[in-house]
Structure 1
Amino acid sequence: MIARLTAVAAALAASPALAATGPFFSLRNTDFIVLLAFLVFIGILLYYRVPSAIGRMLDKRAEGIKADIAEARRLRDEAQEIYANYERRQREVQGQADAIVANARREALAQADKAKVDLQTSIDRRLQTAQDQISAAETEAVRAVRNQAIQVAMAAATEVLGRQMGPQDRSAGIDRAIDDVARHLN
């Protein structure tokens, strides 16, 4: 407190109020009145401890700023941690996506190979079925041609025999045929 009063007195001693002409300690000297008002004002400020209140307010403000800075650092650290987690998750998801794509490719290739094998099997089966049908058709055609040839031969033989043989020869031929059949059956 004494140091403050000494500082105020030194400030007043160097003021232009001391340079005024005439008696300084007169109520008619405006410089003296201003000096007295200033001293009373400073006294009131010191009496009500305004400088310490201002100091406390500034200290409180400084503590608030420090707390805000600490909160900002904490939030920044938290944001950096969240960002690092995000990047790690993104790399993991990218790895999973790459694995899924690779697996899908492998499965697609396997399915394509299986489809090729199935198609080849189906073609082979159809080809075999077609060959079987062709073979059956050939067999049926040969049988039909034989039957037709037999019928034509029998008709021709009947006609030729009918012209060459008489009714007695026919009866004898029938008897011989019956005997041949009987011999073959016994």
Structure 2
Amino acid sequence: MTRLGAIAILMASAVPASAATGAFFSLRNTDFIVLIAFLVFVGVLVYFRVPQLIGTMLDKRAQGIRSDLDEARRLREEAQEIYASYERRQREVSGQADQIVANARREAEAQAAKAQEDLKASIARRLKAAEDQIASAENDAVRAIRDRAVQTAVAAASELLARQVSAGERSAGIDAAIEDVARRLN
């Protein structure tokens, strides 16, 4: 008989109905039958290399879990590097934004100062132009008053001379007086 046949006969004979109480090493003792069945079962498992198959499957599963853990660790490190990179970029962008705001503030202050200086210069030019216009108007007024004074003086002198001097002397005296006034004005 082959091993398999012997195992089958032993298993068939190890039914609870055939087990009985008595000596331990008797086929009528249930505990002995269960022990033999268990040893046969373990023997079948060892014969068909089930523990090796289970061990191989467990090793493969452990290797798969190990590779999954390694992959997860690698992905975590990658994610941390990317996160650190984004944090650095955020700090750089924040710094650049602060610089842009500071530059804009400085430029606005410079433009305001320049506009204030331009306004002061414009006011100074307008004041100078107004002063020049006032001086010109003053000079025109003085000139007009002088001219009017000269005309009045000439007219008064002419009238006075006309009363005091005869007609012949008048024209010579008027000419002399006009020349004298003209010399004094220039």
Instruction: Indicate whether 1:114 and 2:110 are aligned.
Output: yes
SS in 2 for 1:165: helix
Q: Hey, what does 1:15 align to over in structure 2?
A: 15
1 CA distance for matches of 2:122 and 2:180? 52
SS in 1 for 2:103: helix
Deviation of 1:95 after TM superposition, in Å, equals 1.0
Q: Hey, what does 1:74 align to over in structure 2?
A: 70
2 CA distance for matches of 1:68 and 1:92? 36
Amino acid in the other structure paired with 2:152 = A
| CA 4–154 in structure 1, closer or farther in 2 if over 3 Å, else same | farther
Deviation of 1:174 after TM superposition, in Å, equals 3.9
What does residue range 31-180 of structure 1 map to in structure 2 within 5 Å?
Answer: 51-52=48-49, 58-166=54-162, 168-172=169-173, 174-175=175-176
Amino acid in the other structure paired with 1:82 = E
TM-score (norm 1): 0.64
Q: Kindly provide the CA deviation profile for residues 48-89 of structure 1, in whole angstroms up to 9, marking residues without a partner as x.
A: xx934x666655543432332122112111111011112211
Q: How many equivalent pairs are there?
A: 152
Gaps of at least 5 residues in structure 2 are 20-43
| CA 119–179 in structure 1, closer or farther in 2 if over 3 Å, else same | closer
Q: Kindly provide the CA deviation profile for residues 21-56 of structure 1, in whole angstroms up to 9, marking residues without a partner as x.
A: xxxxxxxxxxxxxxxxxxxxxxxxx9xxx934x666
Q: Hey, what does 1:42 align to over in structure 2?
A: none
Structure 1 window deviating more from structure 2 (151-160 vs 58-67): it is 58-67
What RMSD, in angstroms, separates the aligned Cα atoms of the two structures?
3.6
Deviation of 1:109 after TM superposition, in Å, equals 2.0
TM-score (norm 2): 0.64
1 CA distance for matches of 2:13 and 2:72? 54
Amino acid in the other structure paired with 2:48 = P
